[in-house]
Structures are given as C-alpha cells and as structure tokens.
Structure 1
Amino acid sequence: MLQKKWFLSMALVASLSFMTGCSATAEPEAAPASSSAAVEAAPSDAASPTPDLTGVPEIVATVNGEEITKADFTRIYEGQFAQVLQQAQLSGEELDQEQLRKQTAEGLVNTELLIQQAAKKKVFATSKDLDAALGDVAKSNDMDSKEFLAAMDAQGLNEDAVRAQLKTQLEVERLIAKEVGDFRPSEKETKAAYQVVLDQFKKQSATDKDAPKAPSYKTMKVELEQQLKLQKEAAAVKDYVAVLRKDAKVTMNM
C-alpha cells in the first residue's frame, strides 16, 4: 500500500481534525502515540469495524461558498479511520466513529480555510516545485515518478489529480510556515519520543516473549520528527484557524 503522508488529507487534515479533541495532539510536547513499527506489531482482528458513513450528507459543509462534498469527506474519513483504528487497537480503547466523523468534518473546514487564505496571500507552488515534490514522494515509496503516478492512477488518481493534491499541500504548508512558523523538533525531543516507543515495546515484550524488537533510533528518527512536527504545528495552527473562522461564512451540515 502506498504511503499517503504527502497528501494534505493524511497530514495536515489529520492534525486539523484532531486538534479539537484528540489527546494525541492536544499537547505539542507529547510524544507520538504510536509509530508505524509499533502499529505493525499490533494484533490483527478479523472482526475489526469498518468506516461508517451513515447519515453523511452530499454536501458536508460550505466554506465561504466553497462546498465540501461527501466524496471529499469519504476519501479523508477512510484514511483517518484506518489510522485511528490502529491506534485504538494498540491502546485497547474503543473507536468512537461519531466523534471521528465530526472531527474529520471540522478538519476539512479548517483546511479549506487555509487553502483559501493561501490563495488570498498569493502563496503559490510552481511547476518546478511540483516536479521536485513528486520526485520526493515517489522516492519515499521506493519508486520513480513514473512508477508512482502509475500506482496512483491505479488507485483512481490520475496525474492531474496528484499534482493538484501536491500543489495544495505545498501552498498550505508554505502559508503555515510563513504565518505561523516552522516547528522542527529538537534532538532532545526526538530522543524523548523514541524512549516512549521503546517503553511500548518493552511492555509488549513483558507479556509476549515472541514480540518484535524495537527499531533503532536511526531507523525511526525521520518518522518521529515528522510526527512531532505535526503535533507542534497543530497547536499553533489551531489559533491561526480560529482567527480565520471568525471572519468566514461556514455552514456545517453534519
């Protein structure tokens, strides 16, 4: 399965969705709740719940006249659902889909506000920027650009759609960096987050002698930095979006 961290839907929207109620991002200094390595170690459950889209309207919300459709919501929700379900299974908590639907809708509204603000501030990504970003995304998936685009096309996103997603992501990220700031974690913070992961693996090893060993710090460093950066950004962007919402015309239909 392709990594989708590069999608606005799987990174920025994730942070914007959960900054209103999820403890995983409530405190900027908190370590990531889980890592991909830890998730892979989680027990499988043949009876795992599936995304429930019951009652989702065709138009989820409008933001200054721009519609957020059910199709938009579904794509985001399904990706969010998979991630949150994995975390819930690891922690032994029950997944509240009603809350997740509300958080996802709020995240989409907040993201749309940022998209509109980027356009207002004339924050643009060039074709050269998109080529570079596409190359980075492909490389992160162990592919070249052509292979990556073919794989995405097989999942229903043609090259134009992929570039549109990348353009939006780049422009909003640049807006955030310009208006809010850059939140790269320190080495001390990253190592503290890694210690949390080590403790998770130790707990698992205490009850399961066949449990996998924790990945090395070097292996996990980039992922931990990305997660910490998102957490820090979420806290700062929350205040910025709140200001944008004061002057925005938002209609929620959920």
Structure 2
Amino acid sequence: MNKKWMASIVLIASLSFMTACSSSAKPETSPSTSESSPVSPGAEATAPKPDLSGVPDLVATVNGEKISKADFTRIYEGQFQQVALQAQMSGQELDQAQLKKQTAEGLVNTELLIQQAAKEKIFATPKDLEQALADVAKSNKMSSAEFLKSMEAQGLDEKSVRAQLRTQLEVERLIAKEVGDFKPTEEELKAAYDVLLQQQKAKGSPANTEVPKFDQIKSELGQQLKLQKEAAAVKAYVDKLRKGAEIKMYM
C-alpha cells in the first residue's frame, strides 16, 4: 500500500467528480433510499461491475513519480460502487470510460498536491498524527487500537495507516494554506434554499417529502456550499500546479 491511497480517497471526490456534484450542492431532504427508491429483487445481480480492462500497468507519471495500475485499481474500485448506485437510482447509464478517465486525472491531481506539500516543507508532527488517528477512529465509533486492528484486517498495517494519515494531513494543510476557508453568506444560503424549494416543487413531490424550514437545514446548506466553494478553489489551484508540471498519461 502506498502513501497515495488515503489522501486520494479524500480528494478524488472534489478533484475528479466536482463537475458532477456541483449541479446539486444541496442537502438530501427526501426519505432514505430504501423508502423513496426501492431496488428491485434482481437489481444487485444485474448491477455493473468495475471494468479494469485496458488499464495499463503504468497509468501516468507526474514529474517522474509513477502512478501504477495498483494505485488506480484501489481508488477506482473504492469509488465505483458508490457511483454505480447513484447512477442506478437516477436511472442513468454508468459511463465507465468517463469514470476511469476522471479517476486517473484525480490521482494525478492528488500526486501534484502531495509533491507540492513536500516542496513547501509542510509536515505533520507526531502529536498531529496521534490526534488524526484518534479523530478518524472516533468517526468510525472505535478506539485508535480498534481502528488500527480493523485496517489490518483490510491489509493495511499500522505503519501504512500512519503514513497515509500523515500524507493526508500534509495535503489538507497545503490546501488550507493556499485556498483558505470559506463561509457562505446569508444571501447565498437563502438562494440555495430557494433553489431547493423550486426543485421540490418541479418534482411535484408528495407532502411527506416536503423540504424542511430554512432554519432547520441552514447548517447543512452552509456545509454543502462551503464544500462546493472549497472544491472549486482546490480545482483552480490544482489547475495552476498542472501548468508547471510534467505529466504523462498512458490511458
């Protein structure tokens, strides 16, 4: 397992799939999938599977740093199930060729950020690392020891987990330094809420899927808008890094 894996899991969504997500930066207000979008009994059997045919052993190089098929496969398979489910729920056909291209580009972008963090000497301290480990364990409702044990069961030993967490921390700090923080204005929040109301009205949604009051979802709206703005800013920053980089794609 290499250093790219955990950082890529966090960053691929904003760097590769931002275009797909930016059109709906509103919180989900409809009932859960099991209530609103029942899946037919044979759906799981007919669900698409990740197609790795045509993926070369060397996917790309970024300033001489190799991105291998193993790097690509881990990220692609990790993203595939979620994207496939979303496509199935929306009734759209999953374009694996496009998804593979987005994944490869996302890995390149992530590698650029990793390299830039090292270039700017952004390093996480042992104390930072312990806190990050405790935080990620807590988010999974585990102790640090339990989390490490669960990762080991998935093929990641403690050394690998700590190395990946360190890389993630350093990339996040680079982004915070270069991009900064975003706080949506009251006007932006209300505009997003109005869009949400219009969408629900256009759908002709039944009463039980009525949009909550503004004050009830204001916090969620703020988080969604913040993520959308950050993703756009990160993409702009990565585009800038790409201009000065030597990138070779092999797929």
TM-score (norm 2): 0.80
Quote the residue 1:97 is aligned against: 96
Q: Is contact 2:31-2:209 (8 Å) kept? A: no
| Distance across 1 between alignment mates of 2:155 and 2:221 | 30
Q: Is contact 2:29-2:211 (8 Å) kept? A: no
Distance 1:249 1:35, change over 3 A: farther
Q: Is contact 1:13-1:111 (8 Å) kept? A: yes
Q: Is contact 2:60-2:247 (8 Å) kept? A: yes
**Structure 1: tracts of 5 or more residues without a match:** 1-5
Distance 1:49 1:181, change over 3 A: same
| Distance across 1 between alignment mates of 2:88 and 2:194 | 20
CA offsets 1:85-144 (integer angstroms, 9 cap, x no match): 222122221111100000000010011001100001111111111110111111111111
Correspondence 1:51-90 to 2 at 5 A: 51-90=50-89
| Distance across 1 between alignment mates of 2:140 and 2:194 | 23
How far the C-alpha of 1:227 sits from its partner, in A, is 4.7
**Structure 2: tracts of 5 or more residues without a match:** none
Distance 1:229 1:76, change over 3 A: farther
CA offsets 1:179-219 (integer angstroms, 9 cap, x no match): 1111355677678479949x77x96974xx9x999999999
TM-score (norm 1): 0.79
Q: Is contact 1:11-1:230 (8 Å) kept? A: no
Q: Is contact 1:24-1:33 (8 Å) kept? A: no
| Bigger-Rg structure (1/2) | 2
| Distance across 1 between alignment mates of 2:214 and 2:146 | 30
Quote the residue 1:242 is aligned against: 239
1:43 to 38, 44, 63: 38
Quote the residue 2:25 is aligned against: 31
Quote the residue 2:153 is aligned against: 154
Distance 1:18 1:238, change over 3 A: same
Distance 1:10 1:196, change over 3 A: farther
